[in-house]
Structure 1
Amino acid sequence: MKKMIISVLAKDRPGIIASVTSDLYELGCNLENVNQMILQNQFAGFFITQVPKGLSCETIRQELALKEEDRGLTIHVRPLEEETQAPVSEKEIFLITTSGPDQKGLVAQLSSIISSFGANIVNMKAVFMGGSNPNENVMSYQVLVTKEIDAPAMFAALKEKANELNLDIRIQHKNIFDVTNKI
């Protein structure tokens, strides 16, 4: 079976996941991964599924659009490419959290530093409520760091930028975060 990734966007309401996954099941698809979130009042869902032979991206999109016709869903389907690069031998996840006054370009500036070192953001959440209350403006990055990356230099650059932007920053290895948050 080949794999496809399906993204679904819509105004949030109860039942979107139930409806889309039921439709995929009826098409003979097998779900492997699902990730969904609500941003303000908007639903965003991502479904990785194994697809039966002969079922194309366009057929899946058309069938989902037909079944969900009156529900206001925007659906995109594309094949999931096989991973061609060699697996990374040593990798670690670090959690980087900033809080502070809201200002334009925060995500762009910090993510550019992470990218410039060759690190990959594998998960990110930013909540901006505006104003200067740091508890209402928080960014959280999960960053994949390989042994080839100069992590201390990247962390120093992030701390320098955070200081320049008047942000509090915390950088913690995911394993340490997990252990301390079990208590």
Structure 2
Amino acid sequence: MSGLALVSTFCPDRVGLVSGITGHLFELGINLRDATFASLGSGAEFSAVCELPGGLSVDDVQGSLSALPELAGAEVKVTPFAFDPVPGPQALITHRVEVSGGDQPGLVARLSEIFTQFAANIVRLDAQTLPDRDGERYALRFSVAIPPERADVCLSAIANTAEALSLNCKTEAL
């Protein structure tokens, strides 16, 4: 293995993006480690930590990805990955929390501050404005690592905040 790289793309959302990108990386002999994909408005973002085979540079990967038809008009960035690719204990998801209801400015900041107060690490965050029969509904999904001794009080604080804001809250322990 020659090294690790972070592959990041951002472009208009379209069918076939994930299969086009990951298929091309596979053809180059690249092994994917942690990877994410998200539609963001009418755009889409793909990021992955990749194990590059010997002899393949980050410039080679960036050039070949930039030439893919699926990535026409995309921002493509491939850089060396300097962090440990093995997740630490703070990246092991212990709970999923979903809060939904009317959009409220500052909601993500408010809820993320609560997680911080209880030494909980946000591993994944997904926020979407969704159509609803009453207009629009804002949905937040957190995947978090909460220290076991703080889980009950942290989740109670999140639920109490959601209730005070007239939002729905669901939690799931993993």
Q: Which runs of 5+ in 1 are unaligned?
A: 175-183
Q: Deviations over 1:76-128 (max 9, x none)?
A: 2233322588x539x66112111222111111111121123221122222222
Structure 1 counterpart SS, 2:89: coil
**Contact 1:28–1:52 (8 Å) recurs in 2:** yes
1:75 has 2:76 as partner: yes
Q: Deviations over 1:28-81 (max 9, x none)?
A: 323345432323321211233210234333342233224559711111223332
Report what 2:10 is aligned to: 9
Change (3 A) 1:100 1:58: same
With normalisation by structure 1, the TM-score equals 0.74
Report what 2:138 is aligned to: 137
> Number of paired residues?
171
Between structure 1 and structure 2, the one with the greater Rg is 1
The sequence identity of aligned pairs, in percent, is 26
Q: Deviations over 1:107-155 (max 9, x none)?
A: 11111211232211222222224899598222221211233x5222212
Structure 1 counterpart SS, 2:171: strand
Map residues 78-157 of structure 1 onto 2, 5 A cutoff.
78-80=79-81, 81-82=83-84, 87-88=88-89, 93-129=94-130, 133=134, 136-147=137-148, 150-157=150-157
Q: Which runs of 5+ in 2 are unaligned?
A: none
**Contact 2:11–2:71 (8 Å) recurs in 1:** no
Q: CA RMSD in A?
A: 3.2
Alpha-carbon distance in structure 2 between the residues aligned to 1:123 and 1:110:
13
**Contact 2:114–2:154 (8 Å) recurs in 1:** yes
Report what 1:172 is aligned to: 172
With normalisation by structure 2, the TM-score equals 0.77
